[in-house]
Amino acid sequence: MPRAGFLYGLVLTGHLGTLALLLAWYAWLAPSPYFPVALVLLVLVAPLLLPLWGILHARRYTIAWSCFLALLYFTHGVVEAWSSPLTRPLGLLEVLTSLLWFLGGIGYIKASKAVTQSG
C-alpha cells in the first residue's frame, strides 16, 4: 500500500497543481487579452472542480475518468508551450502537472486494484 499512497500523492499534486497553475496563470500572471478573465476561468478551471471531491476521497473510479481530463490539460499545455514564447514556461509547467496527474492516476488504479484483489 505504500506504493499506492505515493501514487495517490502524485495524483493530488498533479491535479491541484494544474488547478492552481491555471488559476494563477489566467487570473494574474498572463491573462488573455482576447477574452474576459471570468470566461477563461470558467472554461479552463471549472472542469477541474468536477472530479475534485472524488479525488480528495481517493475514489478509484473518479481518478480513472479524471485521467482523460488530464490529457486535455496536457494538450493545452503543449499547444501553449509551442505557440507562445511568452507563456512557454507556464505551458511546460502545465504539461508537467498534467503528466503527474495522469501517470499517478494510472499507477494508483493499478496499485490499488492489486491491493484490493489480494486483500
User: How far apart, in whole angstroms, are the C-alpha atoms of residue 86 and residue 102?
Assistant: 26
* Half-sphere exposure in the Cβ direction for 112 (13 Å, CA): 17
* pTM score of the predicted model: 0.92
pLDDT in tens, the chain (119 residues): 569 999 999 999 999 999 999 999 999 999 989 999 999 999 999 999 999 999 999 999 999 999 999 999 999 999 999 999 999 999 999 999 999 999 999 999 999 986 666 65
How many Cβ atoms from other residues are within 10 Å of residue 115's Cβ?
A: 11
